[in-house]
A and B are shown apart, each in its own frame.
Chain A
């Protein structure tokens, strides 16, 4: 196995674990798609067919949009993810499994237009890259392009998040973190009270997040030890987001992109 293929294996190890957790979360919360749920299948069918005046979407929604069928899809997805830990991607069965996983992730992205987040978007992007680049007759250029694409999208995501915070008055006035942490949806009472008591912690956290996110793409071009500082920051940042905000799926989706960033960084420095 070449180093490039090993990078794909490492990315999948992290991504696969994250998507497995997220799929079991869907299974545990399957009631959300029931007639009493917020994403009731009847309504989703109506929404899909009115928004997309397209026979394909009508057919797709008629085929899959029942609570029971979605349950099967998520269960099959779990099996699919586990099989991909065993079966090599560069075999035909491996590639077919990647396609079925991609289709299943795409279906859930269609039906959770409300309720999806950045981790779902990153997961979609990673699985499509895998499908396109790990085609059984792949070559080195294709494998390289996929790694570059994942690394660049990851760095872009941090930069955009950082820059859009820098232009926000609430972030620059160092109030944003306290306000977010004070919500029951994404916050924590302890964290909110701490930030209310210590103003300097607000300033530090807001500016730390804004600047490090905005500068994150630098991790591609600085020498690796400096790049690792950004990645270590990202690790701690996503871990704290998971603990304090409950955003566990972001941790896996974004950690999965870090091997690609390290690879691109090394490639740039050894060119």
Chain B
């Protein structure tokens, strides 16, 4: 008896999970409701790989330092592993770094695009992806003696073919390093 109840419960879970997965592949109120109220454990997958907009940019983080006497350093790029090794198709520990950066910047772009271009964007400083980038940039070595402030830029470039110019996504304020 208990075994039958358990089997029935699992079957119901599978049916609900599958239907919710289908609904959540589309944007809409139903998907929003499911994500907010049903998918509390965040188990509903999103299967739209590289679509509808394929990832066609490489992302870059650059930073520069400012001293208390207003001297400013050159821009320096945060080194992130790029390119590929022969054996990456078997074992590729570097892929997560690239994916994290790509996800963080895409989340920031989505947030930026939600608001009109002329709106003050200082609210971005309180978003988690911004704080993650700021934290990463703050850990980098100084490029000038006794830096007091640091500013960063997020940029995108088209990669190997260079069919378009690199673009700025976001230029931060100077943040206090102390």
Contacts and interface: CB of A to CB of B under 8 A. Distances in A.
Contacts of B161: 178, 182, 192-193, 196
Nearest to A160: B47
Interface centre among B46, B49, B135 (most CB of A within 10 A): B49
Nearest to A189: B160
Interface stretch (B6-14, B68-76, B117-125, B142-150): B6-14
Contacts of B128: 43, 47
B91 A21 contact: yes
A167 B52 contact: yes
A219 B66 CA distance: 61
Interface residues of A, number: 76
Given A153-B18, A246-B88, A142 B54 contact: no
Given A121-B45, A161-B47, A246-B95, A179 B54 contact: yes
A165 interface: yes
Nearest to A176: B54
* Max chain B C-beta neighbours (<10 A), residue from A137, A142, A180, A185: A185
A110 interface: yes
A192 B159 contact: yes
B59 to A, nearest CB: 8
B139 A139 contact: no
Q: Is the interface of A mostly helix, strand, loop or mixed?
A: helix
Contact of B55 (A115, A124, A178, A180): A180
B93 A183 contact: no
A112 B97 CA distance: 11
Interface size class of B (residues with CB under 8 A): 35 or more
Given A29-B93, A161-B47, A182 B136 contact: no
A271 interface: no
Interface stretch (B30-38, B101-109, B168-176): B101-109
B103 A145 contact: no
B165 interface: no
A170 B53 contact: yes
A248 B92 contact: yes
Interface stretch (A32-40, A77-85, A86-94): A32-40
A149 B98 CA distance: 32
Given A165-B52, A242-B89, A160 B25 contact: yes
A168 B51 contact: yes
B114 interface: no
A168 B53 CA distance: 7
Given A141-B7, A246-B89, A29 B159 contact: no
24 contacts: A25-B92, A29-B93, A35-B139, A38-B104, A43-B128, A112-B96, A114-B99, A114-B104, A141-B7, A145-B7, A146-B14, A152-B18, A156-B18, A161-B49, A164-B51, A167-B51, A168-B52, A185-B55, A185-B58, A185-B59, A187-B160, A248-B89, A248-B90, A248-B95
